[in-house]
């Protein structure tokens, strides 16, 4: 590259000075003339001539501008979405905790002081336990609780909720126990209809945990819809009942009357919700004079 001489430098400086001077003159003339002046006319002509080019350039660059804007929006939206998901997850966890706490509190309130209710069997020593496992079948036959032999629980002891009778202790380990529910096919509990005193045996209705059967009701005994059923607490010639007397079981929903049959049969809706119970009480002692064995024929 040839060296730049001082003459060339002076020439460039002179040219720049001329251009600056011309520009100042043109600006002065432009702002000094009216809107209809020559310079304004030249400006308008240049704008009209360059407008199509400007429009084309804007259209050509629009996808790139939109892409940049979309990318920014996506990044912002992803950040907001992640934050919202985190908030929703926290709210769901809090809601689940609140619902669980409310449910536990409701069930535990039903168990507090239960044996002191009027008409409830006296002389029992209830042990409150939490359900930790359920039978894998749909028949609701057994549950496992978190109390066992170390807590004074023994086989054949009755198990209740705040609503009523649910079953008996079938087997026990040091820290757990298995409860056989009244809906299990092997279950049979002597019961009495209140207030008229008709007696029978409560057995499960296969396929429906909300429909129990009260069988062997003496023909002619008055059993009406809505009557309350409790454990009878005494022995008959047909079965042995060694549950304490007075534990609520359910209410009569309908009675099957058959003139040719020797006994009546009634359908019973249990008070306890066997599908949703989370806490139970095991009655670990009996009233004075009662045996320590549960009534199963």
Percent share of the chain, pLDDT over 70? 64
pLDDT digits (tens, 9 = 90+) for 215-274: 888 888 888 899 999 888 765 555 545 577 888 899 999 988 766 567 888 999 999 888
CA separation for the pair 12, 34 (Å, rounded): 35
- Position with higher pLDDT, 151 vs 261: 151
- What b/e sequence results for 35-44 when a residue is b if at least 16 CB atoms lie within 10 Å of its CB, and e otherwise? eeeeeeeeee
The answer to whether 157 and 215 have CB atoms below 8 angstroms apart is no
CA separation for the pair 193, 199 (Å, rounded): 6
pLDDT of residue 105: 57
CA separation for the pair 89, 100 (Å, rounded): 16
pLDDT of residue 213: 92
pLDDT digits (tens, 9 = 90+) for 35-74: 666 666 666 666 666 666 767 666 776 776 777 777 777 7
Domain segments of the chain as ranges: 115-283
The CATH label, of 2.40.128.20, 2.40.10.340, 3.40.1010.10, 3.40.50.1220, for the domain at 115-283 is 2.40.10.340
Judged by DSSP in three states, 156 sits in coil
pLDDT of residue 141: 87
Mean pLDDT of 136-156: 86
pLDDT at 113 over 60: no
pLDDT digits (tens, 9 = 90+) for 24-42: 666 676 666 666 666 666 6
Mean pLDDT of the chain: 75
Question: Residue 290: pLDDT band by 50, 70, 90 thresholds?
Answer: very low
pLDDT of residue 292: 39
CA separation for the pair 266, 193 (Å, rounded): 10
CA separation for the pair 71, 68 (Å, rounded): 5
Q: How many CB atoms lie within 10 A of CB 131?
A: 18
């Amino acid at each position: 590259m040839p060296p730049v001489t001082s003459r060339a430098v002076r020439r460039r400086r002179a040219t720049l000075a001329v251009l600056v001077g011309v520009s100042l003159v043109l600006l002065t003339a432009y702002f000094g003339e009216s809107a209809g002046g020559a310079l304004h006319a030249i400006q308008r002509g240049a704008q009209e001539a360059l407008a199509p080019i400007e429009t084309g350039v804007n259209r050509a660059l629009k996808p790139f501008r939109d892409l940049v804007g979309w990318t920014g929006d996506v990044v912002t939206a992803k950040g907001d979405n992640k934050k919202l998901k985190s908030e929703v997850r926290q709210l769901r966890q809090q809601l689940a905790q609140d619902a669980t706490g409310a449910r536990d509190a409701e069930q535990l309130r039903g168990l507090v002081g239960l044996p002191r209710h009027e008409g409830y069997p006296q002389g029992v020593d209830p042990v409150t336990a939490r359900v930790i496992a359920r039978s894998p079948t749909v028949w609701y036959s057994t549950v496992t609780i978190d109390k066992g032999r170390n807590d004074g629980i023994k086989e054949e002891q009755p198990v209740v909720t705040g609503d009523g009778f649910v079953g008996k202790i079938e087997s026990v380990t040091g820290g757990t126990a298995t409860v056989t529910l009244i809906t299990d096919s092997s279950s049979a509990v002597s019961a009495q209809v209140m207030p008229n005193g008709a007696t029978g045996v409560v057995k499960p209705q296969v396929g429906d945990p909300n429909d129990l059967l009260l069988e062997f009701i003496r023909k002619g005994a008055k059993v009406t819809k809505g009557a309350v059923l409790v454990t009878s607490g005494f022995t008959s010639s047909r079965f042995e009942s060694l549950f304490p007397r007075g534990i609520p079981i359910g209410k009569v929903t309908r009675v099957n009357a058959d003139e040719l049959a020797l006994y009546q049969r009634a359908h019973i809706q249990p008070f306890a919700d066997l599908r949703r119970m989370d806490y139970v009480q095991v009655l670990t002692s009996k009233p004075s004079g009662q045996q320590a064995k549960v009534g199963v024929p």
